[in-house]
Amino acid sequence: MSLNSTAFSHPPYFLLIGIPELEEEQFWIAFPFCIMYGIALLGNIALLLIIKAEPSLHEPMFLFLAMLAFTDLVLSTSTLPKMLSIFWLGFGEIGFSSCLTQMFFIHAFSTVESGMLTAMALDRFVAICCPLRHSSILSVPVVVALGSLVLVRGVLLVSPTCLLLHQRHFCQQHVIAHSYCEHMAVVKLACGDTRVNVIYGLFVAFLVIGTDVVLISASYAMILRVVMRLPSRDARLKAFSTCTSHVCVILAFYTPALFTFLAHRFGQGIPAPVHIVVANLYLLVPPTLNPIVYGVRTKKLWDRVV
């Protein structure tokens, strides 16, 4: 059978089914998702407004936090409104271009989020290991340059995944067994040899997660070495407390991220509903938790709220 009879260049739309095997239950699953999205919106917008309005918060830690809040808003808004329309209204159709656009924003800003967490680890390292030079090393122009670099890295690394998919032919099957346009879920619908798409996706994932986790781990290893040399117990506890919020946020982001990444490539035995629910939480839990964790744990922010 010829390629022309089994494939077409671009399907008019894809059909997102939500959570496979939980089509009946996902109406109720949407309620906690909606509540979390509401908290993410309110929390991150509040963070941005507080940091913008308060000059004393215009320092590296809070500037990076503002960038993280903006990233979380883009990441959650790229997925949740469409996801809720699937769960509540059964409206799973998404145009081909809209699907690729959603895919770009999800993966690009996931990469940006990982980069921001790495930049924040660098800020903690400089603050604890070089406290007297903190403001000179991480000046506002340097912070803006780091944020811009993280954004450019995300755009440059993720753009080829969308361009490669745009050039492929797609088979008659156009149902995506997912709640959003995830890269590998869409690649599986393409006709012919998709090894280039798969290999490039793996390359980007390993490059981003590998590089950022190594840099974060190295930063905290040096922080730990410096903190353990401090003479008093109170000084050590104070130094550790400045890192607690960041460590919580790192765990909230990378734990479901690694599960989702490994499940797509190597977790054939993992039930589909578990995989998709965790993939949804991966895009929703960090944006929901980040403003709460930083708001509660950071005295300067808490003082502005109360």
CA distance 226 to 297: 22
- Cα torsion 4, 158, 216, 243 to 10°: value is -110
The answer to whether 171 and 190 have CB atoms below 8 angstroms apart is: yes
User: What pLDDT shows up at residue 233?
Assistant: 77
User: What pLDDT shows up at residue 265?
Assistant: 62
Element (DSSP H or E) covering residue 257? helix 233-266
CA distance 124 to 137: 12
Burial of 93 (0-12, 13-18, 19+ CB in 10 A): middle
Judge whether 306 lies within some domain: no
The string of DSSP codes covering 25-76 is: THHHHHHHHHHHHHHHHHHHHHHHHHHHH-GGG-SHHHHHHHHHHHHHHHHH
User: What pLDDT shows up at residue 255?
Assistant: 84
Structure pTM? 0.89
Task: Specify the residue for token string 């340059």.
Answer: 145
Judge whether 34 lies within some domain: yes
3 state DSSP class of 206: helix
In b/e form, how buried is each residue of 50-78, taking b as 16+ CB within 10 angstroms?
bbeeeeebebbbbbbbbbbbbbbbbbbbb
CA distance 190 to 201: 15
Token couple for 300? 């300067």
The answer to whether 201 and 265 have CB atoms below 8 angstroms apart is: no
Judge whether 5 lies within some domain: no
CA distance 175 to 59: 47
Judge whether 131 lies within some domain: yes
Element (DSSP H or E) covering residue 147? helix 140-166
CA distance 103 to 108: 8
User: What pLDDT shows up at residue 299?
Assistant: 61
3 state DSSP class of 19: coil
Judge whether 167 lies within some domain: yes
User: What pLDDT shows up at residue 3?
Assistant: 45
pLDDT per position in the chain (306 positions), as tens? 344 444 457 888 899 998 888 888 889 999 999 999 999 999 999 999 988 888 888 888 889 999 999 999 999 999 999 999 999 998 989 999 999 999 999 999 999 999 999 999 999 899 888 888 888 899 999 999 999 999 999 999 999 999 999 988 888 778 998 999 999 889 988 888 889 998 999 899 889 989 999 999 999 889 888 888 877 777 777 777 777 778 888 888 888 877 777 766 665 677 878 888 888 888 899 999 988 887 766 666 656 555
- Which residues span the domain enclosing 113? 13-298
Token couple for 4? 């022309």
User: What pLDDT shows up at residue 264?
Assistant: 63
Indicate the length of the chain as a whole number.
Answer: 306
Judge whether 273 lies within some domain: yes
Domain count, the chain: 1
CA distances from residue 64 to 104, 118, 283 in whole angstroms, order as listed: 22, 10, 19
User: What pLDDT shows up at residue 1?
Assistant: 38
C-alpha neighbours within 13 Å on the C-beta side of residue 231:
0
Chain-centre distance for alpha carbon 72: 7
User: What pLDDT shows up at residue 5?
Assistant: 41
Judge whether 303 lies within some domain: no
Token couple for 205? 């994932």
Judge whether 2 lies within some domain: no
Any idea what the CATH number is for the domain that residue 242 is in? Answer: 1.20.1070.10
